[in-house]
Amino acid sequence: MILRPILALIAALLVGRAALAAPVGTSNDESVPPVVTDTTKPRQCVIAYLVTDVATNDMFVSRQQVEPPKDQAASRGRYPCPTDVPARVATRALEPCLARAGDLKFCVFGDMARGFENRPDVRQTAENTSRCASDLATYIGIACWKAGDRDICNVACGDTEQAARDLARGRCEVKQQKRCTITGATLILPPQ
């Protein structure tokens, strides 16, 4: 009976100390909060390409981040991407594959023409339909069918992973006139 009020007093004191243990700024200026983490900082534009080594079927996402123009406003937490993408960016996008492939001639863009399996050449692929921009979509997706050992693929952009896969599959099945059951998708923006 005597212990109960003593325990209650100790508990009250502990609660009081905990309340005092809030973050305390080191600055004397009380208008400055102690810790500021800007989780809403807009992400810069990223143009993601899918490029592939057709000898090994390795698929690479080649992300190209573009600095926003001065005075450009962000929308929905993202800076807009340029509407015209120079050819040198597409050439650069192939580099992750070119540096890592056993044979350079097997590096192509992920969006392939019908009949690519008969003419496996970069000219039978399209760079502009192999890319997605971060201001218009969140995921880049791929869908492929197998011609022997080789994956024949098409690319699409989507707001969700499933949407990107489904859109790529639809595009592949219309373009290739095959069932495109091999699918994949990844984020356009790199993980922070």
Partner 1 sequence: MPVKTAPFWRWPSTFVRSLPVALVGCAMACVAAAQDASVNKAILAPPPSAWDRLMLSGRPLLSQTVSDFAAITTGIVFGMGPGEVNAHMPNPAKGISWSALPAAAEFQNDVRYFWIRFEDARDLRVGATSCAGAESYIVFLFQPRGLFRISYRLVPDVACPRPAGAIAEVFGRFVSLATNIALSVHYRAGPMEVVDVTDPTAGYLMATRWQPRAEE
> Does an H or E element contain 162, and which?
helix 161-176
Binding status of residue 46 toward partner 1 by CB under 8 A: yes
Cα 130 to Cα 66: distance, rounded to the nearest angstrom = 17
Shortest gap between Cβ of 101 and partner 1 (angstroms)? 7
Contact pick of 60, 131, 137, 156 for partner 1 (by CB under 8 A): 60
Contact pick of 85, 112, 132, 172 for partner 1 (by CB under 8 A): 85
Neighbours of 114 (CB within 10 A): 14
Neighbours of 151 (CB within 10 A): 22
Window 119-158: residues binding partner 1 (CB under 8 A): 142, 144, 151
End-to-end CA distance of the chain: 57
Contact pick of 94, 96, 111, 138 for partner 1 (by CB under 8 A): 96
User: Residue for token digits 């995921």?
Assistant: 139
Contact pick of 58, 117, 121, 173 for partner 1 (by CB under 8 A): 58
Q: In the 3-class helix/strand/coil scheme, how is 10-42 assigned residue by residue?
A: HHHHHHHHHHHCCCCCCCCCCCCCCCCCCCCCC
Shortest gap between Cβ of 91 and partner 1 (angstroms)? 10
Contact pick of 29, 38, 67, 71 for partner 1 (by CB under 8 A): 67
Judged by CB under 8 A, the stretch of 4-12, 27-35, 124-132, 175-183 that binds partner 1 is 175-183
Judged by CB under 8 A, the stretch of 6-14, 27-35, 63-71, 119-127 that binds partner 1 is 63-71
Cα 155 to Cα 110: distance, rounded to the nearest angstrom = 6
Structure tokens at 51: 């490029």
**Cβ 78 vs Cβ 135: under 8 Å:** yes
In the complex with partner 1, which residue's Cβ is closer, 62 or 176?
A: 62
Cα 155 to Cα 50: distance, rounded to the nearest angstrom = 8
Contact pick of 54, 61, 137, 156 for partner 1 (by CB under 8 A): 61
By CB under 8 A, name the binding residues for partner 1.
Answer: 46, 50, 53, 55-70, 82, 85-86, 88-89, 92, 96, 99-103, 142, 144, 151, 165, 179, 181-186, 190
